[in-house]
Amino acid sequence: MPAAAVSHDVLAKYEPVIGLEVHVQLLTATKIFCGCANRFGSDPNTNICPVCLGLPGALPVLNAKAVEFATLASLALNCQVRERSIFARKNYFYPDLPKGYQISQFDKPLAEHGWIEIPSADGATKKIGITRLHMEEDAGKSLHEGFADSATRTYLDLNRCGTPLIEIVSEPDIRTPDEAFEYLTRLKEILLYTGVSDCNMEEGSLRCDANVSVRPRGQEKFGTKAEVKNVNSFRFIREALAYEIERQIEVIESGGKVVQETRLYNSDEGRTYSMRSKEQAHDYRYFPEPDLPPLIVSPQLLSETRKRLPELPEARRKRMIAEYELTEKDAHTITASRQFADRFEAAAKTARNPRRVANVLLNEVVGRLKALGTEIEQSPVTMAGIVLAADLLDEGTISSKQLKQLFDVCFEKGEDFEAVYEREKPRQITDSAAIEKMIDEVIAANPRQVEQYRAGKKTVAGFFVGQVMRASKGQANPALLNELVVKKLEG
């Protein structure tokens, strides 16, 4: 969605510089500084108390679970955790912020100097730096629509006041909207694996603001940046950035100046609109929060938290690629959620051949689900069914052709593999004499291949197995067939 006709040659003269600020709500039972429930979807103004309403005299008490989650996220993002960090007041007035300030962290955040690895355009990987990860509280919500008198009134729901947040600020290392998309995808995946947030964008558990500027290629100094706020999907962020990059280049090319401002993205129109001039840090008059002591994360707490760090998605993919002989793409499919990867690995362990379980899952289940447009959670075949199928295949009780037919029935009738297998147990030829007769015929018809085999090309055995399997309409017992083919050829 181009802002206007800016030619490719002109676009290519400029380099975009993108930094992302991501707010993530933590999945604690209670709020960050009081005992109110931290829950989405309650009736308005039911999860509130004097502390999160900021009534005079009410004092905050820090939620230990929120610290634990923030520390866990910091470690998962390769950050250095500060032993002593400081809460600060960020002063601004807004109707949904009854205290008149937000408790956040400023010059001494919880964690700094982290990074995330993303795939880069040339097939290698690129490290995107994380400047800082700090803790803060969420504000309430102003409701501008949905009421009979919404045209003249704004309603306030303060349930969200005091929801624990972490803000993750990237270095300005991102150069394209695609890299921004990758960074966000990886970040969300890592946070989901740690379990500190549900990262549900529709409910606002994960929110992203993007800072973007452009500069002539080769120039060191950054251009003036605009901030694009509150875009509610990664796809829209990619679109908003592409629009904003072109808009800024167009402004510069036509002799104008980019102004530092906050802009909103309208996904229906595919363009950004100026909202307000951007505040500077000094506008907020930050000062240390007098009602809270410094936050201490002791070396002991840090090492305990490190032990709770799960195997993270990238490491898990690397291990699974080796262990199950997967392609990069297949590894992504299996590790898309930690729960699914866990279920797969638990099941694979019980199978005769774990790699075979991966094969059956990827070849017989994933493709059929994709064709139906359904998620893996809705598969009629359970993980136990996949293991059974893999075992039957592995021990040669069914052929791969029969396996395919059985899976066809499973998906046609919406039944699990075991039920279909028990009912339609494929007929198998297990009579050696009958199989030997078929082998003899194939051998007689292919003297050249026999010669090749006897000259030492043992892989030709596979050709005979295939021919006999076809002649038997897929019903020859595969294990027996393999054994007899070799016996005949050697004989």
Contacting residues toward Zn ion, per CB under 5 A: 34, 36, 49, 51-52
Choice between 66 and 79, CB closer to Zn ion? 66
Q: How far is the CB of 162 from Zn ion (least distance, A)?
A: 5
372 CB contacts (<8 Å, ≥6 apart)?
411
Between CA 143 and CA 160 the distance in angstroms is 12
Which residues in 289-408 belong to E strands, given as ranges? 295-296
| Residues 161 and 56: beta-carbon distance below 8 Å | no
Choice between 98 and 426, CB closer to Zn ion? 98
Choice between 51 and 116, CB closer to Zn ion? 51
Q: How far is the CB of 295 from Zn ion (least distance, A)?
A: 19
Between CA 400 and CA 478 the distance in angstroms is 9
Q: How far is the CB of 47 from Zn ion (least distance, A)?
A: 7
Choice between 59 and 281, CB closer to Zn ion? 59
Choice between 160 and 338, CB closer to Zn ion? 160
Q: How far is the CB of 33 from Zn ion (least distance, A)?
A: 8
| Residues 128 and 115: beta-carbon distance below 8 Å | yes
Choice between 46 and 350, CB closer to Zn ion? 46
Pairing of strands 206-216, 14-25: antiparallel
Q: How far is the CB of 58 from Zn ion (least distance, A)?
A: 9
| Residues 165 and 138: beta-carbon distance below 8 Å | yes
Strand order in the sheet with 226-231: 80-81, 111-119, 125-137, 164-170, 14-25, 206-216, 226-231, 261-266, 271-277
| Residues 47 and 41: beta-carbon distance below 8 Å | no
**SS3 assignment, position 137:** strand
Q: How far is the CB of 23 from Zn ion (least distance, A)?
A: 19
6 CA to centre of own chain: 34
Choice between 24 and 51, CB closer to Zn ion? 51
Q: How far is the CB of 5 from Zn ion (least distance, A)?
A: 53
